[in-house]
Chain A
């Protein structure tokens, strides 16, 4: 085998070309990794939300919480009394009747408007969210039109900062606290007291869904059955994990777009890598002839050039991945197609995402370097020795 240092040093000798090509590949890998990181962030925001022992009870035909309503609202009260529901420390059932609506509100910094989820719930609802805690200000008090929301929402939307007032149907609600909930979908929402919200919206006492936690697997299946078939209810019960999984499936379109973008970028950069390698092969004709004269087989020369191409692209890939470091945790917000409302997320550059980026770099190296490598060995030795 031709020693690798031959390739490494050859790359270094033409360092300007090597550097420029690495940079170009790095930029492409960076862009691809950013894309994947964004998708991953969005999906994480969705999946971190689901607890498999939690059920969401909705109207039978509804596809999401916003289009669901439980009518008459008394059914909700009956649901709370079902056996098999887990209980909290004070013995009260962990079942929360909630009213969900979406409002069009303006973003800060001329970011246009977006649909924001506003959820009216009672105190118990907080136990059903993962790791809920107030991080600034205080929790809201029922009856006085107060709101709490996440830090990302408060930063992104007008009138939703701590102390600011948001108008809901001509009623002013004041933001009194900011909360955190393990990065779950709750952090894309604004919360109010249920009665305050329904009364502001002139839907007094309305209930969209009931969120509840089951004691165990058995009672969960029982409750699902009962809710579905019992004449008393005739509603839909879906586990939280399934609910959010479903939503992810509508992000399939975004995923597809992301892969297409990454694909275009990679193919574009692949041609660049090929160009660089072709030039390298072209000016090393005599070297190649000598190597083969001395006894290195065609196969070895081919592999050598492929490796060189790989190293070139892998270096670029590493650069691109490293460049994501300062961007980790950057947050963004976009439309969740399934709920037709805003979802905030953080860019996530986990191992999987970075590996995907490196895989692209490797692909560029292999495919882009293949044809130049083939050209390297195509000449007859005597012709190669004659070059330059």
Chain B
């Protein structure tokens, strides 16, 4: 789905090469982990795939559509339809309830209120927090917040889920719960997942792991979905 030949420079005053000559292909139902030391460019790569940023040169294609040539406005629309985000910090809007947070991406669609309600409920049920839907983020634990974030990510039923250190802020047990959930999304719901992580145990859950160093792909390990270290 995503085919990628990129070099990228982050501009400030200094030209810093972050990714160079990056090539990557993601197919449907992929579950890919991106690992590498700090500064290796994995988050940058993620941002490019997610349409949050544009490559300096090269192309990022999504089902044939060149994201680099899409306007900001259209990109926003595209993201709302095709991508779900899971951040390290849950990034829930603190003044909205769990329900309202999950509903947020749905307000961008043409769905009527009742239809939205259905989808929100479904998403929250999948993550197991349906009964907490009227609670505010501050009333939820870290793990629960992250689960709501996942619900938000799947609310519009996107094809691609993009996760940036999803377990980074969580303890081992809660982290595992989250990873279980993500595994389900991939196996049961056929979501394509690309995840950036530091944690080898998280990476072990993925179908393959890509190693980045200094902006280049240096390793590629494929794993069967059955193997996972706990």
Contacts and interface: CB of A to CB of B under 8 A. Distances in A.
A/B: CB atoms within 8 Å of each other: yes
Given A286-B91, A290-B87, A290-B93, A295 B100 contact: no
B53 A5 contact: no
Nearest to A3: B107
Nearest to B50: A293
B105 interface: yes
A294 B95 contact: no
B207 interface: no
B95 A13 contact: yes
Nearest to B91: A290
Give the secondary structure class of B's interface.
Answer: helix
A385 B88 CA distance: 11
Interface stretch (B77-85, B121-129, B175-183, B198-206): B77-85
A374 B50 CA distance: 24
Interface stretch (A38-46, A262-270, A296-304, A342-350): A296-304
Interface residues of A, number: 26
Interface residues of B, number: 26
A298 B85 contact: no
A287 interface: yes
B40 interface: no
Contacts of B87: 290, 385
A13 B94 contact: yes
Given A299-B73, A381-B52, A294 B96 contact: no
A379 to B, nearest CB: 12
Given A3-B107, A294-B152, A382-B53, A9 B77 contact: no
A287 B91 CA distance: 7
Contacts of A294: 79-80, 85, 104-105, 108, 152
Interface string A1-39: 111011001101100000000000000000000000000
By CB atoms of chain B within 10 A, which of A2, A6, A291, A293 has the most? A293
B172 interface: no
A231 interface: no
Interface string A283-317: 00011011111111111000000000000000000
B96 A6 contact: yes
B105 A295 contact: yes
B136 to A, nearest CB: 9
A295 B95 contact: no
Nearest to B152: A294
Contacts of A9: 95-96
A230 interface: no
A380 interface: yes
A151 to B, nearest CB: 55
B125 to A, nearest CB: 21
B126 to A, nearest CB: 18
Nearest to B153: A294
A295 B52 CA distance: 10
B72 interface: yes
A241 B107 CA distance: 59
B76 interface: yes
B104 to A, nearest CB: 6
Contacts of A382: 47, 52-53
Contacts of A5: 96, 100
Contact of A297 (B50, B53, B73, B152): B73
A298 B95 CA distance: 20
Contacts of A292: 76
Contact of B72 (A1, A12, A298): A298
Contacts of B94: 13, 287
A298 B79 CA distance: 13
B93 A295 contact: no
Interface in A48-78: none
Interface in A233-281: none
A3 B78 CA distance: 20
A2 B41 CA distance: 32
Interface in B190-225: none
A3 B93 CA distance: 12
Contacts of A286: 89, 91
Nearest to B53: A382
Count chain B CB atoms within 10 A of each CB in A1, A5, A13, A294 and give the residue with the most.
A294
A323 B91 CA distance: 41
A6 B52 contact: no
A291 B100 CA distance: 13
A290 B53 CA distance: 14
Instruction: Name the residue in B47, B52, B53 with the highest tally of chain A Cβ atoms < 10 Å from its Cβ.
Output: B52
26 contacts: A2-B107, A3-B107, A6-B95, A13-B95, A286-B89, A287-B94, A290-B91, A290-B93, A292-B76, A293-B50, A293-B79, A295-B76, A295-B79, A295-B105, A295-B108, A296-B76, A296-B80, A297-B73, A297-B76, A298-B72, A298-B73, A299-B73, A380-B53, A381-B52, A382-B47, A385-B87
Interface of B: 47, 50, 52-53, 72-73, 76-81, 85, 87, 89, 91, 93-96, 100, 104-105, 107-108, 152
Closest 4 pairs between A and B when the two form their complex, measured CB to CB:
A295-B80, A9-B95, A290-B91, A297-B76
